[in-house]
Structure 1
Amino acid sequence: MNDQNPPAERRLPPLQLLLVSLQHVLLMYGGAVAVPLIIGQAAGLSREEIALLINADLLVAGIATLVQSLGIGPAGIRMPVMMGASFAAVSSMVVMAGMPGVGLTGIFGATIAAGLFGLLIAPFVCKIVRFFPPLVTGTVITSIGLSLFPVAVNWAGGGSGATQFGALHYLGVATAVLVTILLINQFMRGFWVNVSVLIGMALGYVLAGMLGMVDLSGLAQTPGLQVVTPNHFGAPTFSLAPILSMCLVVVIIFVESAGMFLALGKITGETVDPQRLRRGLLCDAGATFFAGFMNTFTHSSFAQNIGLVQMTGVRSRYVTALAGVILISLSLLPKAAFLVASIPAAVLGGAGIAMFGMVAATGIKILQEADIADRRNQLLVAVSIGLGMVPVIRPEFFAHLPQWMEPITHSGIAVATISAVTLNLLFNVLGGTERSLLTGASH
Structure 2
Amino acid sequence: MNPDKPAVHPADEVLPVWELLIFGLQHVLIMYAGAIAVPLIIGGVLGLPKEQIALLINCDLFACGVISILQSVGFWKFGVRLPVMMGVTFATVPSMIILAGDPEIGARGLYGSIIGAGIVTMILAPFVGKLIRFFPPVVTGTVIAVTGLTVLRIGINWAAGGNPTIKKMVDGVLLDVPNPNYGAPENLLFALLVLVVILLLAKFAKGFWANISVLVGLLVGFVLAWMTGRVDLAGLRQAAWFELVEPLAFGWPTFHPWAILSLSIVMLIVMVETIGLLLAVGEMVGRRPGPEGITRGLLVDGLGTVFGGIFNTFPYVSFSQNIGLVGVTGIKSRWVCAMAGAILIVFALFPKLGIIAASIPTYVLGGAGIVMFGMVCATGIKILSDVDYRNQHNLFIVAISVGIGLIPMIAPSFFGHFPKSLTPLTHSGIALSAIVSMLLNFYFNHFRARRAPLTAPAEV
Q: 1:188 aligns with which of 196, 205, 215?
A: 205
Query: How far off is 1:285 after superposition?
Result: 0.7
Q: 1:223 aligns with which of 229, 232, 240?
A: 240
Change (3 A) 1:399 1:280: same
2:416 counterpart of 1:416: no
Tell me, in whole angstroms, the C-alpha distance in 1 between the residues paired with 2:145 and 2:288: 20
The equivalences for 1:80-229 within 5 A come to: 80-160=83-163, 162-229=179-246
Query: How far off is 1:319 after superposition?
Result: 0.3
Q: In structure 1, the residue corresponding to 2:253 is in which secondary structure?
A: coil
Aligned partner of 2:362 in structure 1 is 345
2:278 counterpart of 1:281: no
Aligned partner of 2:172 in structure 1 is none
Aligned partner of 2:7 in structure 1 is 4
Change (3 A) 1:213 1:372: farther
Tell me, in whole angstroms, the C-alpha distance in 2 between the residues paired with 1:327 and 1:3: 33
Tell me, in whole angstroms, the C-alpha distance in 2 between the residues paired with 1:92 and 1:185: 42
Tell me, in whole angstroms, the C-alpha distance in 2 between the residues paired with 1:79 and 1:261: 8
Aligned partner of 1:321 in structure 2 is 338
Aligned partner of 2:458 in structure 1 is none
Structure 1 stretches (4+) deviating beyond 4 angstroms?
433-436
Listed as ranges, the gaps of 5+ residues in structure 2 are 167-178, 453-460
2:257 counterpart of 1:254: no
Q: Deviations over 1:184-229 (max 9, x none)?
A: 0011111111100000000000111122210012210111111111
Aligned partner of 1:29 in structure 2 is 32
Q: Deviations over 1:406-432 (max 9, x none)?
A: 1111211111111111111111113x2
Listed as ranges, the gaps of 5+ residues in structure 1 are 437-443
Q: Deviations over 1:373-419 (max 9, x none)?
A: 43321221122112111112333322321122111112111111111
Change (3 A) 1:434 1:84: closer
Query: How far off is 1:13 after superposition?
Result: 2.7
Tell me, in whole angstroms, the C-alpha distance in 2 between the residues paired with 1:26 and 1:434: 45
The equivalences for 1:362-381 within 5 A come to: 362-381=379-398
Tell me, in whole angstroms, the C-alpha distance in 2 between the residues paired with 1:375 and 1:132: 18
Q: In structure 2, the residue corresponding to 1:300 is in which secondary structure?
A: strand
Tell me, in whole angstroms, the C-alpha distance in 2 between the residues paired with 1:56 and 1:400: 37
Cα pair 1:3 1:10 within 8 Å, conserved: no
Aligned-pair identity (%) = 50
2:30 counterpart of 1:13: no
Q: 2:353 aligns with which of 336, 339, 342?
A: 336
Query: How far off is 1:3 after superposition?
Result: 10
Q: In structure 2, the residue corresponding to 1:84 is in which secondary structure?
A: strand
Q: Deviations over 1:29-69 (max 9, x none)?
A: 11111111111112211111111111111111111000011
Residue type at the aligned position of 2:376: V
Cα pair 1:387 1:415 within 8 Å, conserved: yes
Tell me, in whole angstroms, the C-alpha distance in 2 between the residues paired with 1:390 and 1:196: 33
2:285 counterpart of 1:291: no
Query: How far off is 1:354 after superposition?
Result: 0.3
Cα pair 1:254 1:281 within 8 Å, conserved: yes
Residue type at the aligned position of 1:196: S
Q: Deviations over 1:286-323 (max 9, x none)?
A: 11111111111110001121100011110001100000
2:71 counterpart of 1:54: no
Change (3 A) 1:374 1:435: closer
Q: Deviations over 1:137-167 (max 9, x none)?
A: 1001101110012111111011135533212
Residue type at the aligned position of 2:248: N
Tell me, in whole angstroms, the C-alpha distance in 1 between the residues paired with 2:98 and 2:27: 31
The equivalences for 1:398-413 within 5 A come to: 398-413=415-430
2:82 counterpart of 1:65: no
Tell me, in whole angstroms, the C-alpha distance in 1 between the residues paired with 2:241 and 2:325: 31
Q: Deviations over 1:89-148 (max 9, x none)?
A: 011111112123112222211111111111111112111111111111100110111001
Aligned partner of 1:440 in structure 2 is none
Aligned partner of 1:79 in structure 2 is 82
Change (3 A) 1:403 1:52: same
Q: 1:238 aligns with which of 255, 259, 264?
A: 255
Aligned partner of 2:174 in structure 1 is none
Q: 2:373 aligns with which of 350, 356, 367?
A: 356
Query: How far off is 1:433 after superposition?
Result: 5.5
TM-score (norm 2): 0.91
Cα pair 1:307 1:356 within 8 Å, conserved: yes
Change (3 A) 1:202 1:434: closer
How many residues matched?
435
Cα pair 1:92 1:406 within 8 Å, conserved: no
Point out the more displaced range, 92-101 or 24-33.
92-101
Residue type at the aligned position of 1:298: P
Residue type at the aligned position of 2:23: V
Query: How far off is 1:15 after superposition?
Result: 2.5
Tell me, in whole angstroms, the C-alpha distance in 2 between the residues paired with 1:410 and 1:360: 19
Cα pair 1:388 1:416 within 8 Å, conserved: yes
Query: How far off is 1:434 after superposition?
Result: 10
Q: In structure 2, the residue corresponding to 1:397 is in which secondary structure?
A: coil
TM-score (norm 1): 0.95
Change (3 A) 1:375 1:220: same
Give RMSD over aligned pairs: 1.7
